[in-house]
């Protein structure tokens, strides 16, 4: 079966669109956005140094967050506010399992030295990219990785 030039051109266009989408996702992740999501991935219910606490029974995160960023992601449906009192906010991550999987996959691919474009094959390219970039950031300072607790590490 031979591939026509038209079919080949259409396949290339599809790949270009996919790569373009990944580029947009990657470029959207600022330092503050990465820090917000990393604070959630580092959260535990017994880590005294963490600014965010995580309750494994309810899968609720509590802490003080950048309100502007938080509102942006609430509006986009990433988070759901459970409670808010003063500076403290309690949130849920919608589709948390997909996010955790994507984040851990991004960390793993970065560990293996693979390209960030693998995000295209992930159910959550944004979470993948955050995990990928976080690993690269942490890997610049290997001392910080000693006794480091974060999802995917």
Per-residue pLDDT of the chain (153 residues; tens, 9 = 90+): 566 777 656 665 665 555 444 444 444 588 899 999 999 998 888 766 778 999 999 999 999 999 999 999 999 999 999 999 888 999 999 999 999 999 999 999 999 999 888 888 888 999 999 999 999 988 887 766 677 777 776
**Res 6: pLDDT:** 74
**Res 9: pLDDT:** 65
For the chain, the straight-line distance linking the first and the last C-alpha, in angstroms and rounded, comes to: 46
**Res 22: pLDDT:** 45
Residues 6 or more apart whose CB falls under 8 angstroms from that of 111 comprise 135
**Res 95: pLDDT:** 93
**Residues 102, 110 contacting (CB under 8 angstroms):** no
**Res 147: pLDDT:** 73
**Res 11: pLDDT:** 62
**Res 110: pLDDT:** 92
**DSSP string of 50-62?**
-SEEEETTTTEEE
**Res 28: pLDDT:** 58
**Res 140: pLDDT:** 85
């Amino acid at each position: 079966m031979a591939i026509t030039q038209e079919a080949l051109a259409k396949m290339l266009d599809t790949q270009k669109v996919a790569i373009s989408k990944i580029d947009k996702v990657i470029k959207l992740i600022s330092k503050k956005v990465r820090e917000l999501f990393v604070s959630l991935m580092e959260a535990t219910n017994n880590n005294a140094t963490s600014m965010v606490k995580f309750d494994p029974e309810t899968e609720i995160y509590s802490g003080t967050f950048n309100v502007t960023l938080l509102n942006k992601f609430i509006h986009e449906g990433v988070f759901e506010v459970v409670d808010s009192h003063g500076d403290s906010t309690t949130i849920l991550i919608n589709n948390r399992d997909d996010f955790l999987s994507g984040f851990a996959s991004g960390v793993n691919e970065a560990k293996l030295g693979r390209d960030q474009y693998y995000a295209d094959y992930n159910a959550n390219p944004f979470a993948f990219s955050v995990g990928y970039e976080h690993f690269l950031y942490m890997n610049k300072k290997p001392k910080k990785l000693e006794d480091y607790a974060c999802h995917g590490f």
